[in-house]
Structure 1
Amino acid sequence: MNAVNSHHQDKATLLERLIFNNRPIVIALCMLVTLFLAFQATQVRPSTSFEKMIPLKHPFIQNMLAHINDLSNLGNTVRISVEAVNGDIFTKEYMDTLRQIHDEVFYIPGVDRSGLKSLWSPSVRWTEVTEEGFAGGEVIPQTYDGSAKALEKLRDNVLKSGQIGRLVANNFKSSIVDVPLLEVYPDPKDQSKLLKLDYRQFSHELEEKIRDKYQVQNPNVKIHITGFAKKVGDLIDGLVMVVGFFGICFVITLVLLLWFTKCMRSTIAVLSTTLVAVIWQLGLLHTIGFGLDPYSMLVPFLIFAIGISHGVQKINGIALQSSDAETPLLAARRTFRQLFLPGMIAILADAVGFITLLVIDIGVIRELAIGASIGVAVIVFTNLILLPVAISYIGISKRAVDRSKRDAVRDHPFWRLLSNFANSKVAPVSILIALAMFAGGMWQGHHLKIGDLDQGAPELRPDSRYNQDNDFIIRNYSTSSDVLVVMVESAAEGCSSYQTLNAIDALSWKLENTEGVQSAISLVTVSKQVIKGMNEGNLKWETLSRNKDVLNNSISRADGLYNSSCSLAPLLVFLNDHKAETLDRAVKAVQDFAKDHEKDDLKFKLAAGNAGIEAATNEVIKQSELTILILVYICVAVMCLITFRSFAATLCIVLPLILTSVLGNALMATLGIGVKVATLPVIALGVGIGVDYGIYIYTRLESFLRMGLSLQEAYYETLKSTGKAVLFTGLCLAIGVATWIFSAIKFQADMGLMLTFMLLWNMFGALWLLPALARFLINPEKVRTKKASILVH
């Protein structure tokens, strides 16, 4: 035995000797690191921000940030609609409830109190034209006492306020409390300390202090809440279910692993080391100052999946080696020597899929990329190093070893059948089928769209409470929650000039006649109303005057529609929805108009408002989609080329992945799933994770070809040794990820569906298409004469 060990020790690499000659130190170090990072992992909290969800370097966002102080209530806001279930809003009971809600919201941390607006706000005023000129005042005057007379006066004031369809529903059955938010605000307990807005906590406060409290107090009132902060809060709440899905995935994997390995010891070893990888990833995430946002909460799933993939390969290899190795240590060392480099290359390929996401200028995607890259890096230590070392102590059960011995010598009808994929008659048929699928996928993939394809929050289910609230506001108010803001820049004191106002008027007319636009409001809207009022309300005078003094006077009541220096006048465009087509039409209309009408002292800048942010995000996604795929494939191809030193081998591994990407795009187009922040990462991740199968299969195939076997026989032996691990891994991971499809969060369900499809198709492509391509691209004679590499035992 010593002679055998010595023989293998001579062939061992420096890394192998360093690890296996110091096994107690390796395990002790891993235990210490695990304890430290487990403590760090317990400190990880859900965390996100408005800025992380938007592409900060996009010109639209840059324009918005440059004028952020001049744009009131057009950033991160929440809208609370208070509905009168029976009757209308003009009752003492309703108005008292609305006042209480207004006051309650005022004291919630994170609310920009200066911009809070409802019918009870002093800034909400009415105006009318009388024989003596203009008259006006607060919609709810100081003399309001809830009497029938006061309520009748309130009704008149609302009719004259211009707030119908905005703060008050068209049917007078509800009104809105408009709540602007601060990303950072002073600590109520210590004003010198600044706190960051916690979206989950803020969402919970809205539920507890507003919805639950007032709907219980007054059954005649129903609360509807929409806005970015509420949507993110609901997403985080829904994603807490991820823990449950992780538990289900763990149990499924445990059962399938036990069935596959027939060994409890190795099953526990694989699961334990993979859980260690997840713990390390979460701990390191907190150590570098990151939290978990609605998108990166899915990363631990991916790390678990990748870890299981590599763990199964190691256990399968050790079981095969144990049939003729004298000790578990020798079997572990041989497997480490044989699989460490292909495993390392596969992990680097996984990492490439994540790292390429860094090119996207959106904070949540970049944090996902960083977090996932960290997770992939730790798998090198946990599943490629710690797992073989652990197995070298505990070994594989005799039952598993005996089964491996029997499998090594007996004929396998199933693998023999699959080996026909490498047959000279079957391979051309496979290639033709693949080409037909590629052509069909490309044709269907042309229908794939960028951005959201549904109203409301597509990240949530259509029947979710948020989307029902959003639907209520769309149906009952003239101004939707989807607002595109065009920033019209002029010289100082130039916003009231006829040239500027006339251009804004022309742009408003163009936009209001654009499909998908509800209405547009600007300085011009107020100016025309005032000029008409100054001329006894005659409709003939509802137009712009060329007299500068008249124009200056007409905009004096347009609070919030121009800045203090009168150099910026926002044009608010209310859209039917934020679907990609609607945004594209509105943006194109503005850009075409700007091209023809911009001057040195008159600029039309896009874009603020939630629809403007969505349009910018869509542009970034559209520009990044192809770039990411190209980068992923270039990096994967380069790594395969360096590893196998063969263009043919690289094509055999990469071409099935390309087919999967094309079919994945076709599936998204068929199911009506748009390419957006939630789904774009899947496209890159599917390539990175899927390349593992091809690398492991080709590594074994090349080794058998070098032994002198024909291609079909070499593939049969490959299937016997590593094919079952690839098949099992693909099915196991797909079943685990498929549990996401039942999530209450639609974007998680979409990601689960896409990843399940890509995992299965990458596995099938490696088993079916790789040998067919090898039949045409690989020259077995050339492989046999190739100098032996460190990949082969």
Structure 2
Amino acid sequence: MLARFVDFCIGRRALVVTVIGLLTLLMLGAASRIHVGTDFEDLLPRHHAYVEVHNRFKATYGSSNAVTIVLEAEQGDIFRTDFLERLRTVTLELRKVDGVNPEQIISLASRKIVDVRSSSDGLESRPLMFPEVPSDAAGLAELKARVQRNGLVLGSYVSRDLGAALVTVDFYDHLLKPEEAFRQIRAIADAVAGPGVRVRMVGEPILAGWVAYFLPETLTILAATLAVLGALLFLFSRTWRGTLLPGLAGFTSGCWALGVAALAGIQFDPLVIVVAFLITARSISHSVQLVTRFDDELKAGAATAREAARKAMFGLFKPGMLGVIADAGCMIIVILVPIPLMQKVAVIGTVWVSTIALSAVVMTPVLLSWVRLPVRHAHPINLMPGLDRAMAGLARRVVGRNAYSVVAVAGVVFVVSGWFAFDIRIGDANPGSPILHQDSAYNRDATEINRRFPGTDRMFVVLAGEQADDIKRPEALETMNRFQRYMEAQPEIGASLSLADLIPVIKRVMRDGNHHYEEFGRNQNENGELLYLFSSGGADPSDLERLADRDFKTGAVTLFFRDHQGDTIRTAVARIKEFAAANPLPGMQLLLAGGFAGVTAAVNEVILASQIESIALALLVLVLCCAVTYRSPNAGMFFMVPVILANTLTFSFMAWKGIGMNINTLPVAALGIGLGVDYAFYIIDDIREELRHGKSLEEAIALALAGAGKGVTVTAGTLILAVAMWGFSSLRFQSEMALLMAIWLGISAFSALVLMPAMVVVFKPGFVMGTARAASVARPLQSIQP
């Protein structure tokens, strides 16, 4: 059946190329309309308890897309008319940003920051600095004194050294366009920055904006990478077909994948371009193997290009398709992660990998059948003789007793790397954003803001009652207060805020500022009266909505985190659950968790569960594919060895370098399962074929390395050198993923060239040896010429 299929493709080559070409043009047209961007809703796990709490309360207590802007005075304090005017300008101009929630713009210059005073009529709540900035020295001095007396402002919206002021702004999630918000906020910041004033800003929309800002650079690096890749292929192959056909295979796969994504309405996230390049590299690898085999068939005496192309396609179809199916199977597993972005990446990635079956496995040999003979080289530099000698020398070192040494060393490496792989962190492993380098403007801003203020990453935990006014109960407020003190003992949490902070301040003011009365009311009614006096004294009713809902059935405790590292978030969640279990309150419950840190906790929990599940299922897919293809359960176990070795080594490297397993690295890790075994398929299949032709085991290994092994070396070496271009990216994620790709490629190539032949010698698996097992001792290897 395979022979008939190959004969059809080569015999009807014009029809095959025409159909594939027309379909590719249609997909290219669709791909040109694909939307590039990030949808924040796609980052949140579906049906996770934390996300449900977040979605339920985000309009009141804050979404995960809050932006923090800090204005710093380069000399002196902020209590200068020119500085405060700039702070006021930022506060007012933020109202014009698309998608902004105007009720969630809070700063010293907003009407929500109030000073509570007692008077003969009760309480008087007046904005500290709204609507105008003090114009004289006396007014500035009074404002400064009022800020220093206000514990809810000093440290939270004005730094304790009085040298910086903070502005927070939140968005309606469904209206937010991160790139546009970033552009508008940055324009506001640039307008007020200048001599004496520095502006810093952080938040998920700002981060997404920086990613979009570097998109032209990313495309430039991609173009440079492809140029280097083409140059290296041209150097090694010495032919235009060895350069252009692999490039055409990668281009065709990309058109099909992006076209399908556009037709399905799936947008392309800039961060997954690394995954895209990795899959394109697989397409190029398969095509290079076919070109190399085509050249070998010509050297072996094939009379025509058609005959050589037919033999190359027939010989490599099974390992090529097995590699495609294994890669696609490992990629589709990611769809089980209940995060929409991961599921979309899984769909695009699976389609992309699957198209390699057409773009490389079928189209490359069909196009090769048109090559004119005799074949001429495009340049005089010939690296192949040296590579042939290297393969022959390698073949002598993976047989006999050396094979046992290779397997033993691999076993030791597996045990050691597996031990260190358990240290890999789930979630972000470093302060700041792992998307950008530590010395980037964004991460420098995050570091400085967290140094001066309680923290930029927020998590709100909701204390929910069963009926109205439950939050006003003294025992509820006492629980909130104890919870805040308990959580603030964690060093990474800089501060917390709740209704339990406000009511004692109101009662103290009612008692002429006497700190002895800074306590809760004796009962629910007294607390309600204190809150009524606060609201009736001139405060905006919406000011309390940041702390409790309108009927006081629920109240939020907002925790301010100095970083969102995986360990920080997991520790906080564990402490919250521990407190809730130890402090039950009848009729009320503590609900986890909203805000950026809350949804990050949800993502980390999903990834922790999905990581083990994805690896296990991907290995199962690999075992089944190999077992069915080679009709032997042992084949699955045999090919699992390089995959496990590649993963333990890569994960241990990630643990060593502080690269966390997060929403961005998970697809690369899943695809790495298939990547770790592709090269091995070609080597083992070549060994099997030579054994069926009557060669001894040593001869079969030597010939396989001289044929498929040469293609593996050229492909892996070319891709590793080309991937190095991503080290220049301003996006840390891209440079780190490029490094991981290079490691995976290197381990995959090493396993295929060294470990797999050695394992064949040591274990002599039946699916490889077949009837040649008895003839495994044969002529000396020295008689085999490269």
Q: TM-score, normalised by structure 2?
A: 0.91
User: How has the CA–CA distance of structure 1 residues 13 and 593 changed in structure 2, closer, same or farther, with 3 Å as cutoff?
Assistant: same
Alignment match, 1:678: 664
2:233 is aligned with 1:262: no
2:754 is aligned with 1:768: yes
Deviation at 1:543, TM superposition (A): 2.6
User: How has the CA–CA distance of structure 1 residues 748 and 143 changed in structure 2, closer, same or farther, with 3 Å as cutoff?
Assistant: closer
Identity of aligned residues (%): 26
Give the conservation status (yes or no) of the 8 Å contact 2:687–2:768: no
User: How has the CA–CA distance of structure 1 residues 402 and 731 changed in structure 2, closer, same or farther, with 3 Å as cutoff?
Assistant: closer
User: How has the CA–CA distance of structure 1 residues 498 and 269 changed in structure 2, closer, same or farther, with 3 Å as cutoff?
Assistant: same
User: Which deviations, in whole Å up to 9, do the C-alpha atoms of 1:335-356 show, x marking residues without a partner?
Assistant: 2222122211101111122211
2:85 is aligned with 1:99: no
Aligned ranges 1:212-361 → 2 under 5 Å: 212-215=190-193, 218-323=194-299, 324-361=301-338
Mark the runs of 5 or more structure 2 residues left unpaired by the alignment. Answer: 535-543, 774-786
1:137 to 101, 112, 126: 126
Mark the runs of 5 or more structure 1 residues left unpaired by the alignment. Answer: 1-10, 186-196, 788-793
User: How has the CA–CA distance of structure 1 residues 489 and 338 changed in structure 2, closer, same or farther, with 3 Å as cutoff?
Assistant: same
User: How has the CA–CA distance of structure 1 residues 626 and 524 changed in structure 2, closer, same or farther, with 3 Å as cutoff?
Assistant: same
Give the conservation status (yes or no) of the 8 Å contact 1:321–1:331: yes
Deviates more, 1:626-635 or 1:557-566: 557-566
Give the conservation status (yes or no) of the 8 Å contact 2:109–2:131: no
Alignment match, 1:34: 24
Give the conservation status (yes or no) of the 8 Å contact 1:421–1:430: no
Deviates more, 1:484-493 or 1:594-603: 594-603
2:505 to 529, 540, 544: 529
2:460 is aligned with 1:485: yes
User: Which deviations, in whole Å up to 9, do the C-alpha atoms of 1:704-738 show, x marking residues without a partner?
Assistant: 12223222221011111211001111111112222
2:157 to 150, 159, 167: 167
Deviation at 1:639, TM superposition (A): 0.4
User: How has the CA–CA distance of structure 1 residues 440 and 145 changed in structure 2, closer, same or farther, with 3 Å as cutoff?
Assistant: closer
Deviates more, 1:156-165 or 1:448-457: 156-165
Give the conservation status (yes or no) of the 8 Å contact 1:112–1:179: yes
2:484 is aligned with 1:508: yes
Mapped to 2, the partners of 1:407 and 1:267 lie a distance apart of 15
Letter in 2 for 1:387: T
Mapped to 1, the partners of 2:190 and 2:499 lie a distance apart of 39
Alignment match, 2:561: 575
Deviates more, 1:492-501 or 1:138-147: 138-147
Deviates more, 1:646-655 or 1:302-311: 646-655
2:651 to 652, 659, 665: 665
Give the conservation status (yes or no) of the 8 Å contact 1:358–1:365: yes
Alignment match, 1:189: none
Mapped to 2, the partners of 1:363 and 1:782 lie a distance apart of 42
Secondary structure class of the residue paired with 1:571: strand
Deviates more, 1:124-133 or 1:741-750: 124-133
Alignment match, 1:374: 351
Mapped to 1, the partners of 2:765 and 2:466 lie a distance apart of 72
Deviates more, 1:222-231 or 1:649-658: 649-658
Mapped to 1, the partners of 2:96 and 2:378 lie a distance apart of 68
User: How has the CA–CA distance of structure 1 residues 366 and 295 changed in structure 2, closer, same or farther, with 3 Å as cutoff?
Assistant: farther
Alignment match, 2:183: 204
Alignment match, 1:70: 60
Deviation at 1:487, TM superposition (A): 0.9
Give the conservation status (yes or no) of the 8 Å contact 1:118–1:177: yes
2:362 is aligned with 1:385: yes
Alignment match, 1:125: 114
2:680 is aligned with 1:704: no
Secondary structure class of the residue paired with 1:537: coil
Letter in 2 for 1:120: A
Deviation at 1:303, TM superposition (A): 2.6
User: Which deviations, in whole Å up to 9, do the C-alpha atoms of 1:612-657 show, x marking residues without a partner?
Assistant: 1222211111111111111111101110111111234333322022
Give the conservation status (yes or no) of the 8 Å contact 1:648–1:777: no
Secondary structure class of the residue paired with 1:311: helix
Secondary structure class of the residue paired with 1:65: helix
Give the conservation status (yes or no) of the 8 Å contact 1:295–1:364: no
Letter in 1 for 2:171: L
Alignment match, 1:18: 8
Mapped to 2, the partners of 1:84 and 1:272 lie a distance apart of 56
Alignment match, 2:100: 111
Mapped to 1, the partners of 2:387 and 2:494 lie a distance apart of 71
Give the conservation status (yes or no) of the 8 Å contact 2:221–2:726: yes
Secondary structure class of the residue paired with 2:342: helix
Mapped to 2, the partners of 1:246 and 1:144 lie a distance apart of 50
Mapped to 2, the partners of 1:650 and 1:537 lie a distance apart of 76
Mapped to 2, the partners of 1:768 and 1:723 lie a distance apart of 10
Deviates more, 1:609-618 or 1:645-654: 645-654
Let me know the Cα RMSD of the aligned residues: 2.7
Give the conservation status (yes or no) of the 8 Å contact 2:493–2:560: yes
Deviates more, 1:60-69 or 1:636-645: 60-69
User: How has the CA–CA distance of structure 1 residues 435 and 164 changed in structure 2, closer, same or farther, with 3 Å as cutoff?
Assistant: same
Aligned ranges 1:435-514 → 2 under 5 Å: 435-477=411-453, 479-493=454-468, 494-514=470-490
Deviation at 1:756, TM superposition (A): 0.7
Give the conservation status (yes or no) of the 8 Å contact 1:115–1:180: yes
Letter in 1 for 2:349: A
Mapped to 2, the partners of 1:219 and 1:553 lie a distance apart of 48
2:54 is aligned with 1:54: no
Letter in 2 for 1:203: F
User: How has the CA–CA distance of structure 1 residues 142 and 384 changed in structure 2, closer, same or farther, with 3 Å as cutoff?
Assistant: closer
Secondary structure class of the residue paired with 2:472: coil
Secondary structure class of the residue paired with 1:607: strand
Deviates more, 1:488-497 or 1:771-780: 771-780
Alignment match, 1:90: 79
User: How has the CA–CA distance of structure 1 residues 125 and 613 changed in structure 2, closer, same or farther, with 3 Å as cutoff?
Assistant: same
Deviation at 1:363, TM superposition (A): 2.5
Letter in 2 for 1:724: K
Mapped to 2, the partners of 1:156 and 1:514 lie a distance apart of 31
User: How has the CA–CA distance of structure 1 residues 463 and 779 changed in structure 2, closer, same or farther, with 3 Å as cutoff?
Assistant: closer
Q: TM-score, normalised by structure 1?
A: 0.90
Mapped to 1, the partners of 2:421 and 2:247 lie a distance apart of 38
Mapped to 2, the partners of 1:626 and 1:411 lie a distance apart of 40
2:764 is aligned with 1:778: yes
Alignment match, 1:726: 712
Secondary structure class of the residue paired with 2:106: coil
Letter in 2 for 1:96: E
Deviates more, 1:672-681 or 1:743-752: 672-681
Deviates more, 1:554-563 or 1:55-64: 554-563
Mapped to 2, the partners of 1:407 and 1:127 lie a distance apart of 83
User: How has the CA–CA distance of structure 1 residues 103 and 543 changed in structure 2, closer, same or farther, with 3 Å as cutoff?
Assistant: closer
Secondary structure class of the residue paired with 1:114: strand
Mapped to 1, the partners of 2:131 and 2:229 lie a distance apart of 67
User: How has the CA–CA distance of structure 1 residues 779 and 738 changed in structure 2, closer, same or farther, with 3 Å as cutoff?
Assistant: same
Deviates more, 1:300-309 or 1:49-58: 49-58
User: How has the CA–CA distance of structure 1 residues 645 and 266 changed in structure 2, closer, same or farther, with 3 Å as cutoff?
Assistant: same
Secondary structure class of the residue paired with 1:184: helix
Give the conservation status (yes or no) of the 8 Å contact 2:304–2:373: no
2:602 is aligned with 1:613: no
Give the conservation status (yes or no) of the 8 Å contact 1:490–1:500: no
* Aligned length in residues: 759
User: Which deviations, in whole Å up to 9, do the C-alpha atoms of 1:80-132 show, x marking residues without a partner?
Assistant: 21223333322222222222222322112121123222233222211134677
Secondary structure class of the residue paired with 1:709: coil
Deviation at 1:425, TM superposition (A): 0.7
Secondary structure class of the residue paired with 1:121: coil
Letter in 1 for 2:463: V
Give the conservation status (yes or no) of the 8 Å contact 1:483–1:575: yes
Mapped to 2, the partners of 1:261 and 1:378 lie a distance apart of 24
Mapped to 2, the partners of 1:554 and 1:252 lie a distance apart of 71
